[in-house]
Structures are given as C-alpha cells and as structure tokens.
Amino acid sequence: MAQEIERKFLVTGDYKPLATHCSHIIQGYICSARGRTVRVRLRDNRGYLTIKGPSDEKGLSRYEFEQEISEADARQLLKLCEPGIIDKKRWLVPAGNHTYEVDEFFGENAGLVMAEVELRSEDEPYQRLPFVGREVTGLRRYYNSELRRRPYGSWTPAEQAGDPV
C-alpha cells in the first residue's frame, strides 16, 4: 500500500494560465469514519475506488490504496455513497519536479479553491508558486470527506480564511 504525503494550501492568485491540464471530478464516500474513507471517484470518464487510512498527527501523510474501475461501476457506486457528493475541476500546474493539483469546487463548496502538492518525504523541498496562499495541511475541515458533511458555503468568514478553529 502506498503512503500519500501531501501539503494543502488555499489559492490566492491566478493559476489557470499556468495549468497544463484540467479534468472534471465527481466523488462520493461510501464510508467515512474516524479518519478512514472509502471513496468513489469519476474523473472525466474514468472510475476509481480509493481506500485511505487515518492521517498522521500533522495531517501530512496517510496510507492510500487506489484501484481503477469502470466508468459504469463508478456511476453505480456513486449512487450508494453517503449524502454530499463533491463536484470540482482539477487543474494541473507544474512546479519544478512537482505538480500542484488545484481544485476548484462547485455546488455547496463553490468559492473554495485549494492546491495540493504530493511529496516523496515530509521534508522534501518544493517550489511554492505565487498563487499558493495559506497552508491548511492538517485542518480536517479541508478534507473532501469533511467538505461533503459540512460544505464550505456554511463556514464562518474566519474558517474560510483558513484560520484554525
């Protein structure tokens, strides 16, 4: 099983001119409890089933298993998910040896734009691009599984600014 190590940030500037690819993502959660999730994702016309373990104490890393599934299976599994489907566009922005995944959310999470960069180790250096704002790594409310429960549109202004609450 792979270990996922990533840092998460709010986006404060224009990233689209730097993007090399954009895809549409619909995802839901069959189960999300105590930091463990089973996620179904449809990215454009490809399906994925992902199991994630709990995050470490800093929120930087966790174990992840992902398997590609058919588009038809993904569409059927999305019907079995807990309430609160996530709808977003993902923009890929190269940054040296890394790629930022910038997620622009829609629906009840409209207005939220976040960037993630995956690393090979927790202390690996990475290039911080101009659009990258406040770091929100480890703040649970920014996890997609939490956004489906308590969408961004229901947050206070302090929460939306990335303040710890």
Catalytic residue among 29, 142, 143, 152: 29
Taking alpha carbons only, the member of 6, 18, 21 closest to residue 92 is 21
d(CA 32, CA 110): 22
Following CA atoms 51, 56, 61, 65 in sequence, which dihedral angle do they give, to the nearest 10 degrees? -20
d(CA 125, CA 71): 36
Find tokens 């619909």 and name the residue: 26
What the block records as the tokens of 162 is 């990335």
d(CA 104, CA 116): 12
**Is 143 one of the catalytic residues?**
no
Taking alpha carbons only, the member of 131, 43, 150 closest to residue 87 is 43
d(CA 59, CA 130): 23
Q: Sort strands 113-119 and 2-11 into parallel, antiparallel or unpaired.
A: antiparallel
**Which positions are catalytic?**
29
